[in-house]
Structure 1
């Protein structure tokens, strides 16, 4: 008859195996729920677009090409598709949004024939009153210098310079855009902590890693319009 000392390791091993199975099952359940949520969001996009009289294409081949070099987009591409491509008008401004998809070469496959993990970036742009020089406002990172990124511009406002990194082709333009109302807005609004801004020609961009959903579209378009509302109107007349 086995002693207690002999039985305990078997009990612990059994409990460990049962626990691992439970973790795997929970992971599959969570993954299934997340997949269902994402697919429901995609399905809702066409309905919401129709309700707002926006144009919607599930896949617009080559339409992402013109935005190469912006945010997470590659510097160049061979007719990249814009997935769930939506265009229309929001708060009196024309807009576009879409998903850009690519396979991350650093992720995924552990064996021959296995596919790499798909990365999805959601990109939003709203028309500005006029064109302006290149300007990007985002969060500073310790990797900026390591990755050889362009030198940042300091606004001269300690709290803002600590929380944001400005890169621009025109410091005068950046000072004009970042007036006191916009500075205060970016420092106080939680969306600014996770939504970088990029000015290119007459369009203002933001983006995030993840899929499009009706809620995400409205939130980011609202954010871009809130930013544009706080830029002095006279600035556009001088660009």
Structure 2
């Protein structure tokens, strides 16, 4: 094969690959636009029925997010000078009540280590402000390492839970009250869906693997149900004054 033919083949292959990538990008954008249009149509139907409100932008929750990341996030001791994420704006903000609990759902425009990151939040307000508590699903080996002296991971006497979840908190008593046997059983049953949960101030959020567009009621309502199902298993005494 001549040099010219080899170059022609290489150029042709590159052009075909570029055309394929362009086609895939156009198809993805078309499918996303179709999904967004359908999701927003479903949301417009649900808003008046449920008494929810929608705002394209509402930065009132930005301050709370930044307070939480600055004051209540457990930092990596190996990276003491790395600052936590900070939000600049809140977009597609939905507020309302679900199963008698106030909530806010939004996408936060955040910056972290020089990069722009979209952070989705679906927060349910708790009856009272309580200490910070974070529960995250981790590999068993990592959970075991973090349970070592001085690492801060609590253990609850349930080997399956202790191996699969890491617990960080500002109050051991609050963590023990929240992570009672009923909640632990629920978290283990839902472990394929859950990545973690956190309490901060008077807000509660869950990290799950199936909520991609909070504007779609078909995704938002199950996400809210998941959070309420966990809160339903926490005794009301946990929120009592002085608890």
Report the TM-score, using the length of structure 1 for normalisation.
0.73
In structure 2, the CA distance between the partners of 1:57 and 1:46, relative to structure 1 (3 Å rule), is farther
Residues 124-139 of structure 1 mapped to structure 2, 5 A cutoff = 124-139=122-137
Tell me the number of residue pairs that the alignment of Structure 1 and Structure 2 aligns: 219
C-alpha contact (below 8 Å) 2:92/2:106 kept by paired residues: yes
In structure 2, the CA distance between the partners of 1:171 and 1:103, relative to structure 1 (3 Å rule), is closer
Q: Which residue of 1 aligns with 2:155?
A: 154
Q: Which moved more, 1:169-178 or 1:205-214?
A: 205-214
Local SS of the residue matching 1:98: strand
Q: Which residue of 1 aligns with 2:43?
A: 45
Provide structure 1 residue ranges, at least 5 long, that are not aligned to the other structure.
108-117
| Structure 1: distance between partners of 2:69 and 2:229 | 20
Q: CA deviation at 1:211?
A: 4.2
Q: CA RMSD in A?
A: 3.5
Residues 178-197 of structure 1 mapped to structure 2, 5 A cutoff = 178-190=179-191, 192-194=193-195, 196-197=196-197
Bigger-Rg structure (1/2): 1
Provide structure 2 residue ranges, at least 5 long, that are not aligned to the other structure.
74-82
Q: CA deviation at 1:103?
A: 5.2
Q: Which residue of 2 aligns with 1:112?
A: none
Q: Which residue of 2 aligns with 1:87?
A: 95
Deviation string 1:110-136 (CA, Å, 9 cap, x unpaired) is xxxxxxxx5321111112233322111
Q: Which structure exhibits the higher relative contact order, with contacts defined as CA atoms closer than 8 Å and separated by 6 or more residues?
A: 1
In structure 2, the CA distance between the partners of 1:66 and 1:23, relative to structure 1 (3 Å rule), is closer
Report the TM-score, using the length of structure 2 for normalisation.
0.72
| Structure 2: distance between partners of 1:175 and 1:207 | 20
Q: Which residue of 2 aligns with 1:100?
A: 108
Q: Which residue of 1 aligns with 2:168?
A: 167
In structure 2, the CA distance between the partners of 1:202 and 1:62, relative to structure 1 (3 Å rule), is closer
C-alpha contact (below 8 Å) 1:65/1:77 kept by paired residues: no
In structure 2, the CA distance between the partners of 1:156 and 1:23, relative to structure 1 (3 Å rule), is same
C-alpha contact (below 8 Å) 1:42/1:213 kept by paired residues: yes
Deviation string 1:30-84 (CA, Å, 9 cap, x unpaired) is 2332244245435643443233111221111343212324469986858x33212
Q: CA deviation at 1:219?
A: 2.1
Local SS of the residue matching 2:61: coil
| Structure 1: distance between partners of 2:180 and 2:225 | 20
Q: Which residue of 1 aligns with 2:76?
A: none
Q: Which moved more, 1:132-141 or 1:19-28?
A: 19-28
In structure 2, the CA distance between the partners of 1:153 and 1:172, relative to structure 1 (3 Å rule), is same
Residues 9-48 of structure 1 mapped to structure 2, 5 A cutoff = 13=10, 14=12, 17-38=15-36, 40-42=38-40, 44-48=42-46
Local SS of the residue matching 1:57: strand
Deviation string 1:119-171 (CA, Å, 9 cap, x unpaired) is 321111112233322111112375997xxxx7322223221111111111111
C-alpha contact (below 8 Å) 2:138/2:165 kept by paired residues: yes
